A and B are shown apart, each in its own frame.
Chain A
Amino acid sequence: MDVLEAIRSRRSTRSFEPRGLEPEIINAIETAITSSPSGSNAQESHFVIVQDPAQIRRIKRFAPGLSGDPAAVVVLCSNRRDALERGGADTAEVLRFVNMGIAAAYVLLTTFSFGLGNCPVRSFHRGAIKEIVGLPGDIEPELLITMGYPAEPPRLKTSMPMTEVISHDHFGHR
Chain B
Amino acid sequence: MTTSDTGNDRNQCSTREDEREKLRDFVAYTLTSARGLYREPLSYGPMRMVDALEKALALIASCGLSDPTMDATLGIIRENRWRAGTDPVGFAKALDDATVQLVRITVADEENS
Contact = CB atoms under 8 A, between A and B. Distances in A.
Interface of A: 14-16, 57, 60-65, 67-69, 123-125, 128, 151-152, 155, 158
A14 B25 contact: no
A61 B25 contact: yes
Given A16-B2, A57-B25, A125-B35, 15 more contacts: A14-B5, A15-B5, A61-B24, A61-B28, A62-B32, A64-B29, A64-B33, A67-B5, A68-B2, A69-B4, A123-B40, A128-B28, A151-B2, A155-B82, A158-B86
A14 B82 CA distance: 11
A31 B35 CA distance: 35
A158 B87 CA distance: 10
B5 A128 contact: no
Given A125-B36, A128-B32, A158-B86, A64 B51 contact: yes
A174 B91 CA distance: 33
Nearest to A18: B2
Nearest to A62: B32
Contact of B1 (A61, A68, A123, A125): A68
Interface of B: 1-2, 4-5, 24-25, 28-29, 32-33, 35-36, 40, 44, 48, 51, 82, 86-87
Contacts of A63: 32
Contacts of A152: 1
A54 B54 CA distance: 23
B25 A67 contact: no
B44 A68 contact: no
Given A123-B36, A123-B40, A155-B82, A64 B48 contact: yes
Please name the 10 residue pairs, one residue from A and one from B, whose CB atoms are nearest each other, closest first: A61-B28, A64-B33, A125-B32, A68-B2, A62-B32, A15-B2, A158-B86, A67-B5, A68-B5, A15-B1
Contacts of A62: 28, 32
B33 A60 contact: no
B32 A69 contact: no
A68 to B, nearest CB: 5
Given A61-B25, A64-B48, A158-B86, A124 B5 contact: no
B5 A69 contact: yes
